[in-house]
Structure 1
Amino acid sequence: MDSVLKQAFFALTIFSFCAVSVYATSVAVHDPSVVLVYKDAAGNSYPEQDAKNSRTKFYYIFGTQMGAAYSKDLIDWTEFKPTFTVNGKLSTDYAQILSVAAKWSKHNTSDDVLGNYWAPDIIYNKNLKKWCLYYSENGDDWLSSIGLLTSDKIEGPYEYAGTVVYGGMDEKSSGTGNEDYKKVMGTSTIASRYMKNGSWIGEYGVSCIDPNVFYDEDGNLWLLYGSWSGGLFMLKLDKKTGLRDYTQTYGKNGEAVWSGTALQSDPYMGIHVGGGYYVSGEGSYIKYMKNQEGKGYYFMFVSYGFYSPDGGYTMRVFRSDKVTGPYTDVTGDPAIFSKYIYNYGLNTTYGFPIIQSYRWSFWDENHGEIADGHNSLLTDDDGRNFVVYHRKMTNNTAWHNVEVHELVMDKNDWVEALPFEHRLGYGVSKTAVNLEEIAGHYKMILHEPFAQKDGSRPVNLEKDLYLNADGTLSGNYSGTWNYDFQKGKNFIDFKTTGENFTGVLAVQLMNDVSKKTTTFTAMNAKGERALWGYKVPETKNLEVKNFVGDSVKTIGGKDIAWNDYEKFEKVNGVKNFAAEFEFENNSLGNENWNHWILAFKTSSGLWYLRADAYSVESFSGSSVGYYKSWNNDWEKFKAIFKNAKVKIKAVRSESTINVFVYAKDSLVYAASATNTPDSDYEIYLGADNAELKISKVSIGENLERILVGEIDDAGNYTSAFNAKVSQEFKAPAGNFKMNLKFANYGNGEGASNWDNFLIRENVNGKTMILRADVYALDALGNVKFSSDWDWDNFSEIMRNANVDLSIERLKDTIHFAGIISAENGDVYHYGAIQTGASTDEISFSLSVEKSAVDLFEVSSFKSVGKIIPSDTTKKDTSEIEKPSSILEISKNAQAKKSSVWLVRKNGNAEVKMKGKSFRINGKRM
């Protein structure tokens, strides 16, 4: 065996000795080939859903050495072993099952055959109406072949149906490979172009491994195969048999076709689409993917380098308008080589390297991701595309696991991978993303290559990047950024002093920590680098002062100077502050500056910002920029702010202050100041020849994102009941109002109703817990609930739901009113009234059970004037008067065919349910 093949063989087989791992919740299927499967109640498997939508959807992957697994979500995988038959009888003797391939590759034992069973590909043949498992059997001296196994069911049993193509034929060989060569070529004499000194030559001849079988847009069935050696080739298959279409010819008059020194096609091996001259490249996969206008391309992924920690293994992307090529990269470089080159490590000029070794800062040093490659591609039934691949970690082991990232198309119709692993309900938003959600402090990773010849395991690490509200960049890059939303397409571009990037904006959950944030993926203009980034997630902790009724506060007027700070509204902020002001802007003059002003003071300087995008003064060394919706149309500017309801939000993250200004609920103006003082701040809202009627003032700080709960590698939330608790948020004695905004991450299908968020109320050493499924534990006083959801869908409703929870005490009654926005856009309501509650100081916190809470904002309200309950509280109050007991759900809920409800019978509580258990006082029944 050639030394290069030995190293590749070692990389492919060493994982089999690492079945036991600390990462046991992930699945270790090498060279994963993915397929969408629908199963009925009898276990029959189909490639599509039925008209009644009664089949269960699965994703199946098949890999090297009979590795296989299935999942319902592309996250949590269950391993299984496919079964096989010989002449209709079950068998585990692989030498017998694959006897034709075993004899050609000169393997005598079942273990030898299994060890050389590489990278199968799974597809459903529409004509055969069978699942077709195409496998490769490797052997010394390129004695390799690709065969076909078929089955009626996805898990088997599979039986040998024939061999498609062989490699390694030379003057010394004999058997089925030579017979197939004669069938194709019409002669048993092996042409000299395949040999050197009478032996198969790797620089030209193909290595028959790594099959990928797919239908093109015209319904033709193709086999893509090959590895290193002579490169990657395509053969047309007979749709009726799944085997080679012997009527299709290649080359010209029995000879190979060349373009200069680049091979184009060979009469036996087929159409040459990549590699050659022993240039690295394996695990190729072709998928037709469309942009949102319906324009499509054939994308070819190829893994370059060695699959070893120091082998520089990466996935590269090429595309073509035609299935047969030519396949080229962003700059037009072909996937076919005309001479030997070293095409991995530091050389990245061929193909777009979509993912290269990296490590997020919230991973430990052993969790860096390296050797990403040998992928398959999936277009799901909702049109979304995914790359499914295997990777290693920087933990000095040969262990690996399967990863799944969503693929998106940029405005140039090139596919890019979103930075975090796929999670249900997350990805590219179908609606526009607000500037306030985009701008801020990011952590970015530039996917640069490594030579990796010294045995080290380097990875790309995070650097700081600031997307400022004025459209500028600071941190690791300087320049500008631009966001463009077009009918569901969220494009983002970066123009930097070094190079430009084109990408896509998304909303994702961070790997392994499950915090929701804004992310982007981008590629540079040459297609040689991928750039990933995520906005550092924070939790806003605000104190809110409402001026209600006749107590609306008025500042400004003609008698106040532009810098009369003592008469301005002032709040004190910490270093990373969050401040908000809501007011009515009444201009008293005709000049552009006769409007509101905002000033940020520290002991070392001042930033004085006007409504007309002008700074009278700025911090020393700071750079200030603006976004103006009116551009330089100053009449439009005056119309925007004249007597307008205005909301201003000012946020400091690290060294940058971003200001967002809304008029009539639309973002009209933004400003940024970089390199601001690292100290506490005095923040002033004032007016210059204008009058402001202030209705709301908020001040607080941006904390590191508060997340309650734990997640495992399979994406399951695992925290036991009430085991993880957030910090406490205190409310004063007497009347108060508090608001918490958070995401509730549940396990979805199969989860129990109580596996969601918990509200903890703590007072005088006692704790009451309110569950998401409207049940109270250790009630303090009397609690009555209401809800308006269908209990049959409760788990699906709560998974990834956004919750806006208001808590308000009036005398000895506490109102809990939650607006629950499900991931499908539907809105539901959660209500509870606690009577007989304590009027002392009280605190609230959040906990979970087999779920997680991602806390975005906590607001404590203080009102000046009469307290007016919100419309939501009023609505929920009217609804929650209906139940007569804590153990009684309203008749309205039962009318919606609840799967769980509680009623009273003869004065006793009775549980009624549909296939569910229920918890009462901490015990399940």
Structure 2
Amino acid sequence: MQMPAMAQNSLTDADIADSYTTRTYNHRVSCHDPSIVVDNVTNPASPVYYVYGSHLGHGSTTAASNYQDWDSSWGAGEAAGTANSLFANSDGTLINFANAYSTQTVSKVKDYQGNMVNFPNFDAHAWQYTGNSVQGMEWAPDIIYNTAMGKWCLYMSLNGDNWCSSIVMFTSDSPKGPWTYQAPVVMSGFSGRFDHNGYGKADDWKKTDLAIATGATALPQRYNIRNWGDYWPNCIDPCVFYDDAGNLWMTYGSWSGGIFELKLDAQTGLRDYTHKYDYEVNGTVATPGAADQNCTSDPYFGRKIAGGCYVSGEGSYVQKIGDYYFLFLSYGGLNPSQGYQIRIFRSTSPEGPFTDANGTSARFTSYALNYGAHATDNRGVLLMDGYQWQTMPKGEVAQGHNSAFVDDKGRAFVVYHTKFNDGTYGHEVRVHQLFLNEDGWLVASPYEFSGSTATNSAIASTASVADAEIPGDYQFIRHQYNQSHAQVSSSDQATTARLKEPVNITLNADGTITGAAGSGVNSTSKWTRKAGTDFITLTVNGVEYKGVLVKETTDYTDIPSLSIAALSDNSGSKGVGQGSYTFAQEVWAVKADTKPAIKYTLDHLNIPFQDGATINSNVNLPETGYLGTKVKWTSSDMNVFDSDFGEITGKGPVTLTVEIDKDGYAYKKEYSLYVDKNAKPSTPVYYPESQQKDLTAAWWTNFSKQYYTLKKGTDAEFKFYNYSDKAENWDNWCLVAANGERNTAGYTEYFVLRNDNYGWGTCYDAANQSSAFNWDTFKDDMDGSLVDMKCAYATDGKFTMTSTITTAAGKVYNYSFSANITDAPEQTTLFFVNEKSYIDGSTLVPTGITTVNSDSRTAKSSALYNLAGQRVNRNYRGVVIENGRKYINR
């Protein structure tokens, strides 16, 4: 498609001012293995979405918040006592979660022959392996509204060691509970070889529903085995769903013998024992005998639909989207370093067979390593892997154990927990929209859901994105099947060392694609848009990626983005290996709006000087562009300062110009400097701003827009106003000194210094901290206060901070601190962070000086001032102000 070329246009400060804001999210929810359900029953006009997860993690939200603002206050979780408990007994009395599994309500059930029989009580805690408790073992529940029962049904797996696990059903009149135990659905581990909390191992099968399901009068040979997990499932991780005909199904299982599926009774929510399963091996009916790893159907456990042979795979979830039932599985270990990934298969039937884009079955017939850098089997379409967009505060890794849903507008979503590359085991819920490409395979949106109105039917029938909007500078991520995952040490599996970061590519107006090193783009790369639709195909190095165009919002900002999510077809390579498997590979490309992208880049460039500064040493000129921008520097006199290498080459005045380009637009900013190797460098004055002017921001979310570098033997001044919610003393600014930027490898904080005379860190010493605050009025005093802070870093590694804080009422406080930085590194990195408060120095920036002249002062000149407004003598070297005009004093 031939498009007009983009012309080069110049942008000014006025053009990019206030072009974006950053966003923080203060009410994320930590819910491992989240299962989502919509309550459009209680109040159909105002649906509420609920998630439940392992260890009774839970939360609720609305579509209006884009599933980013959660409330979990309505349930106690795994807490002591009964206050706010999620569980009740049959008479409605609240009980502690640990006591919720002992007494079932249902006493009669139809057996495999359709006869109504007694349903003996099953104590799920008593079934757990001896010594196991309920706490910490309530894993991966699923919740559904049963229309026939008029009840909410919660299917909980109570895990036990040695596969002594079970899935049981609770019901409630509300998705918030309280939940009452009804009956078991399926159990595992009845080999007669493992003791239970409440039962001996001998004839333990008699405590299960095996006889009701199959008519067994003795333990079949195939279950009488020690290595249960090589053949049979661990009964955890339920997923319950309706098919198009109204039938109710449950998939379940984790690693071990595979993922199985049972038909449930839609009238009771429990197992439909009248639905019989043959014993099959490799899909063929066989006579039961000894256990066989290739058993694909079993009279008790049902149909095997995935996994087996102890291959990794858990958290099955089935969701009908478009014409297919999609089976989601999570491969790998769940720790951040263990390669957790979501894989997808599909089928036209709720019972399978489920296959991937290569036609490969989700079932394994022998063991294969299916995750990590050394995987030998890449079956299952990879939805995403560890990644970090530049606006994200930390990388997201080990995404998985998802659920999915389709809302009332026809939009499909994936809901999963993510972990982070920050050295912790922390996790949070994320929601991304799902789209069908031309081949009917799912791709995930590059960004979290932010209100997009796009639907799969609209994408296939409407060109909502104009042709002229498509060309431009994008950031590009290719997700890897064999991506490396490595912990920091053998004792710390909380950190992954590998994630995908974006590279720049350009979709040119003539239909070609050009790209930076590492993008994989070559001379044959191109893009085409399918007329009348929002389908797009990217051809990168000979591989076709079929995808969709969708308008989104860049994560953690309000910057609009044109996004592409695409999946490669059979033109990709199927050679298993790191970086070589490009079949069914998902790619993301995002094009941020031009002006906010340029402004975001300008705000995040760590420029090591200010306009008018004197510099006496080489400097690193930042050249990292953000959001698809390109950054370059030029020098007015290469004989004074070489902008290519950041090196001093002479002495005298020089102008360094930074240029930020994107989408045919260019912004330039000049810095008038004086270069002299023998001069004392001027003290830079900074006016920091918080990313969010938000009095509700949670801790460690609202950072200053920039980092500041302080080298040995230098100092810096910071001026800003502080604004607080006045609720707590600590709801004010904090100064952080570290060895680099957050979330970089080896990141260490030397100290965190709080406004309220408090701190911590490896180099923090409270004995070196002094203030004269009035604690009776402190919270009111700090709100609206003006902070004039001076920081110095001596050559011996001693850091000092002195602040003069002037309240809105005119009171003045002095605050000081010092610390000896361990090993005295050559430089420290400073930044600010606020909790339920923010800082703003933007109104203090000097304005109104518009010209720079050479030194033409007369004998009658008045006093001299530097750009910080400080009076200086005639020997000062650099840019000075005299009579309201700016000069370079040589």
Find 1:484's aligned residue among 515, 529, 534: 529
Q: Which of 207, 221, 231 matches 1:192? A: 221
Q: 1:530: Cα distance to partner? A: 1.2
1:391–1:254: structure 2 CA closer, same or farther, 3 Å change rule?
Answer: closer
Instruction: Report Cα offsets for 1:155-210 as digits up to 9, x if no partner.
Output: 112101110000001123345764311222222422222343xx251011110000
**Contact 1:441/1:654, CA 8 A, preserved across alignment:** no
* 1:70 corresponds to which of 60, 64, 76: 60
CA contact (8 A) 1:90 1:157 kept: no
TM-score, normalising length: structure 1:
0.53
- Counterpart of 2:410? 383
Retained in 2: the 8 A contact 1:233–1:270? yes
Matching residue within 484, 508, 511 for 1:451: 484
Contact in 1 for aligned 2:463/2:531 (Cα 8 Å): no
- The answer as to whether partners of 2:399 and 2:417 remain within 8 angstroms in 1 is yes
CA distance in 1, matches of 2:400, 2:285: 30
1:679 deviates by: 14
The code of the aligned residue for 2:70 comes to: W
Partners of 2:690 and 2:530 lie apart in 1 by: 30
Q: Which residue of 2 aligns with 1:537?
A: 593
Q: Following TM superposition, by how much is the alpha carbon of 1:266 offset from its aligned partner in structure 2, in angstroms? A: 1.1
The secondary structure found in structure 2 opposite 1:503 is strand
User: What is the deviation of 1:431?
Assistant: 4.2
1:496 Cα offset (Å): 2.2
Deviation readout 1:854-891 (Å, 9 max, x if unpaired)? xxxxxxxxxxxxxxxxxxxxxxxxxxxxxxxxxxxxxx
Q: Check conservation: 1:136, 1:210, Cα contact below 8 A.
A: yes
Q: 1:257 to 1:483 in 2, by over 3 A?
A: same
Distance of aligned partners of 1:254 and 1:85 in 2 relative to their CA distance in 1, 3 Å threshold:
farther
- Whether the 8 Å CA contact 2:594–2:662 is kept in 1: the answer is no
Question: Is the counterpart of residue 504 in structure 1 residue 533 in structure 2?
Answer: no
Question: How big is the shift at 1:710?
Answer: 5.9
* 1:104 to 2:104 alignment: no
Deviation string 1:902-922 (CA, Å, 9 cap, x unpaired) is xxxxxxxxxxxxxxxxxxxxx
Question: Residue 342 of structure 1: SS of its match in structure 2?
Answer: coil
**Equivalent residue in structure 2 for 1:322, among 326, 339, 349:** 349
Asked whether 1:35 is paired with 2:37, we answer yes
Determine the C-alpha separation between the residues in 1 that align with 2:545 and 2:354: 22
Deviations 1:351-375 (CA, angstroms, capped at 9, x unpaired): 01101001112334xx100010000
Paired residue type of 2:31: V
Contact residue 594 and residue 663 of structure 2 kept, 8 A = no
In structure 2, give the amino acid aligned to 1:495. Answer: T
Does residue 335 of the first structure (1) align with residue 394 of the second (2)? no
In 2, Cα distance between equivalents of 1:713 and 1:384: 31
Structure-1 separation of matches of 2:411 and 2:372: 31
Identity of aligned residues (%): 35
Q: Is the CA contact 1:406–1:417 (under 8 Å) kept in the aligned structure 2? A: yes
Aligned to 1:135: 156
Using the TM superposition, give the Cα deviation of residue 238 of structure 1 relative to its aligned residue in structure 2, in angstroms: 0.7
Cα drift, residue 498 of structure 1: 4.2
Picking from 159, 183, 191, the partner of 1:170 is 191
Query: In structure 2, what is the equivalent of residue 122 of structure 1?
Result: 143
Shift, 1:427, TM fit: 4.7
1:334-359 residue CA offsets vs partner (Å, 9 max, x unmatched): 10000000000133621011010011
Deviation, structure 1 residue 321: 1.0
1:107 deviation in Å?
6.4
Equivalent residue in structure 2 for 1:468, among 508, 516, 524: 508
Change (3 A) 1:189 1:131: same
Q: Distance in 2 between matches of 1:653 and 1:439?
A: 18
Tell me the SS of whatever aligns to 2:529.
strand
Deviation at 1:282, TM superposition (A): 0.4
Aligned to 1:432: 464
Match status 1:84 vs 2:73: no
Q: CA 1:83 to 1:90, structure 2 compared with 1: closer, same or farther past 3 Å?
A: farther
Answer yes or no: is the 8 Å Cα contact 2:190–2:204 preserved in 1. Answer: no
C-alpha spacing 1:267/1:216, structure 2 compared with 1 (3 Å):
same
Matching residue's letter, 1:167: S
- Other-structure match for 1:151: 172
Q: Which has the higher strand share?
A: 1
With over 3 angstroms needed to count, the CA separation of the structure-2 counterparts of 1:497 and 1:200, relative to structure 1, is closer
Deviation digits for residues 804-824 of structure 1 (CA, Å, limit 9, x no counterpart): xxxxxxxxxxxxxxxxxxxxx
Where does residue 560 of structure 2 map in the other structure?
Answer: 516
For 1:29, the aligned partner's letter is C
**Mapping for residues 730-879 of structure 1, pairs under 5 Å:** none
Is the 1:257–1:263 contact (alpha carbons within 8 Å) kept by the matching residues of 2?
A: no
AA paired with 1:271? R
**1:224/1:235 contact within 8 Å kept:** yes
Cα deviations by residue, 1:522-541 (Å, 9 ceiling, x for unpaired): 11225442101111431299
Deviations 1:474-530 (A, max 9, x none): 11313344443566x411101222422111111110111221011111112254421
Q: 1:160 aligns with which of 172, 181, 192?
A: 181
Cα contact 2:473–2:662 (8 A) shared by 1: no
Instruction: Kindly indicate whether residue 268 of structure 2 is the aligned counterpart of residue 241 of structure 1.
Output: yes
Q: CA deviation at 1:322?
A: 1.0
C-alpha separation in 1, matches of 2:349 and 2:591: 39
Equivalent pair of 2:293/2:309 in contact (CA under 8 Å): no
Provide the aligned C-alpha RMSD in A. Answer: 3.6
Q: Distance in 1 between matches of 2:392 and 2:358?
A: 34
Aligned pair count?
528
Gap change, CA 1:69 and 1:28, over 3 Å in 2: same
Alpha-carbon separation, structure 2, partners of 1:413 and 1:118: 32
Q: CA contact under 8 A between 2:30 and 2:427: conserved in structure 1? A: yes
The aligned residue for residue 251 of structure 1 is: 278
Q: CA deviation at 1:262?
A: 3.7
- Aligned counterpart in structure 1 of residue 134 of structure 2, from 113, 117, 124: 113
Offset of residue 713 of structure 1? 11
Contact 1:376 1:389 in 2 (8 A): yes
- Give the match's secondary structure for 2:135: helix
Q: Give the direction of change, closer, same or farther, for the CA distance of 1:77–1:679 in structure 2 (3 Å limit).
A: closer
TM alignment of 1:681-696, pairs within 5 A: none
CA-to-partner distance for each residue in 1:29-61, whole Å, 9 max, x for gaps?
11111011136xxxxx26xx2xxxxx3211111
AA partner of residue 57 (structure 1): P
Separation in structure 2 between the aligned mates of residue 492 and residue 330 of structure 1, nearest angstrom: 19
Task: Give the Cα separation in 2 of the matches to 1:708 and 1:433.
Answer: 31
Quote the residue 1:275 is aligned against: 307
Match of 2:51 in 1: 61
CA contact (8 A) 1:506 1:518 kept: yes
Alpha-carbon separation, structure 2, partners of 1:91 and 1:116: 20
The code of the aligned residue for 1:70 comes to S
> 3-state SS of the aligned residue for 1:332?
coil
Amino acid in the other structure paired with 2:475: K
Question: Residue 134 of structure 2: SS of its match in structure 1?
Answer: helix
- Helix, strand or coil at the partner of 1:280: coil
Give unmatched runs, 5+ long, in structure 1.
1-21, 40-44, 50-54, 291-295, 543-575, 577-651, 659-675, 681-705, 725-848, 851-925
Q: State the alpha-carbon separation in 1 of the partners of residues 95 and 693 from structure 2.
A: 40
Cα deviation for residue 653 of structure 1 reads 8.7
* Secondary structure at the counterpart of residue 98 of structure 2: helix
